Amino acid sequence: MSDRLFIFDTTLRDGEQVPGCQLNSIEKIQVARALEELGVDVIEAGFPVSSPGDFNSVVEISKAVTWPTICALTRAVEKDIDVAAEALKFAKRGRIHTGIGTSDYHIRYKFNSNQDEILERAIAATKYAKRYVEDVEFYCEDAGRTDNAYLARVVEAVIKAGATVVNIPDTTGYCLPDEYGAKIKYLMEHVDGIQHAIISTHCHNDLGMATANTVQGVLNGARQVEVTINGIGERAGNTSLEEVAMIFRSHKERGIETNINTTKIYGISRTVSSLMNMPVQPNKAIVGRNAFAHSSGIHQDGVLKNRESYEIIDPKDVGIDDNAIVLTARSGRAALKHRLSVLGVELDQEKLDKVYQEFLKLADRKKDINDDDVLMLAGKDRTAMHRIKLEYLQVTSGVGLQSVASVCLNIAGEKFQAAAAGNGPVDAAIKAVKSIIHRTMTIQEFLIQAINKGSDDMGKVHMQVEYDGNNYYGFAANTDIIAASVEAFIDAINKFVK
């Protein structure tokens, strides 16, 4: 058995299913190119039949990257497969990822079917996809809760039908590591022709065991892992690419090798976090802000004497520079450009100049500029094309006073002003915006998060706004938390006001 582990990244498909994390085609291409530099083997670029946007993303990503395989997801439906094949026509190496649910939960309740019919559909879908591409991956949805004997029947049948990769997803994140590992081992020992295909893992983190299950799958014979940057994904997320890559790099005795350039991990982590507006939790393994921080006196003493006393990973191995250039108001364009490059962002001179001017304004307000600040500035132009923009905001607030806000909105070049009182400055400002927009909107979720620390820090605001029965997500960052709140509200409004 080969000890080469193939990395299948689904950040742009499964990861993008997280509410509020949708990217446009340009942003997806940026992530895809970063994934190529990182060294992933397969990029799952989207679910083409689901929307014109997903179809176009698969097309454009196929054009933009060179050596990774580009994968398109489908159901076991001929139309899905036809559309996926069309979307992959520019891919240098294309893969169709088709499949169907195999657990009793799916067979009985989702499909109102039986095992024999599902088996026939699995074989038919695999053969149909094989007409378009040589590389066909088949997923057995909810394999984690599928009877092993029946699962083996399906896996054996689709391999005979032409599948080159068979995906064994723990779709609900239910399995325990020993159970999932035993499932992979059972397939390796009981499927005739298993040597003709690669077994893949796809584990969700509902019980916090996605990475542990994935590792057990690999140790028992799987040679592809389906992962996402920062572990993003539906519900509690997916297996983290960075965790799997660093586990096997750290445990060389296992003999498992990947093609990942680990020094690129930190940069792409921050890029994905910024583009998808998904903060990385401080204690996140490998890429969290505190992953290499030590506050205990005993730990600090030990690390200063010998880093390996408390650190099993050299920060430089994942792209964190111990001697990183500190950015201040006195830093020049070269320093800013260098920091952006480390974070995986390349800007032309005109755009760099614009970002640099915004950087100077922010640096005058903050003592320290961190990576998240820099990425926020680089991505700020994404709001430049919004139909509705905040022209100015003035708020009066204090103890014993009623909060009053005045706002001016630029709507398609025309300016509108309004003032309102409210239960606090944010409420007053939001009411003033509503009085201009004249739509019935409800804020369902309102999350404020400091990027780092300190009263002068950038504050990130995530907002979920309900309008006409649909939810829209807004995001903004500003040193003024009231301004950030209003900008996030307007960002959400721009998603439905055309």
Measured distance CA(360)–CA(331) in Å, rounded: 9
Q: What is the pLDDT of residue 427?
A: 94
SS3 of residue 175 by DSSP: coil
Q: What is the pLDDT of residue 386?
A: 80
pLDDT tens digit at each of 498 positions of the chain: 459 999 999 999 999 888 778 888 888 999 999 999 999 999 999 999 999 989 999 999 999 999 999 999 999 999 999 999 999 999 999 999 999 999 999 999 999 999 999 999 999 999 999 999 999 999 999 999 999 999 999 999 999 999 999 999 999 999 999 999 999 999 999 999 999 999 999 999 999 999 999 999 999 999 999 999 999 999 999 999 999 999 999 999 999 999 999 999 999 998 998 888 888 888 899 998 777 765 444 444 554 565 556 567 888 889 887 545 567 777 788 888 887 887 778 888 988 888 888 888 888 877 667 777 787 787 755 566 688 999 999 999 988 889 999 999 999 889 999 999 999 999 999 999 999 998 899 999 888 876 555 566 677 888 889 999 888 888 888 888 899 999 999 989 998 887
CB-based contact 97:123 (threshold 8 Å): no
Q: What is the pLDDT of residue 113?
A: 96
Among residues 198, 152, 141, the alpha carbon closest in space to that of 174 is found at 141
Helix axes 78-87, 52-64, angle to 10 degrees: 40
> Whole-model pTM above 0.85?
no
Which residues sit in the known binding site for Mn(2+)? 14, 202, 204, 238
Measured distance CA(56)–CA(81) in Å, rounded: 15
Backbone angles phi, psi at 7, to 5 degrees: -100, 115
Measured distance CA(306)–CA(315) in Å, rounded: 14
CA dihedral 191, 193, 198, 200 (to 10 degrees): -20
Measured distance CA(166)–CA(136) in Å, rounded: 9
Which residues sit in the known binding site? 14, 202, 204, 238
Q: What is the pLDDT of residue 308?
A: 58
Among residues 385, 384, 370, 386, the alpha carbon closest in space to that of 325 is found at 370
Q: What is the pLDDT of residue 57?
A: 93
Half-sphere exposure of 135 (CA within 13 A, CB side): 15
Q: Tell me, what amino acid is at 393?
A: L
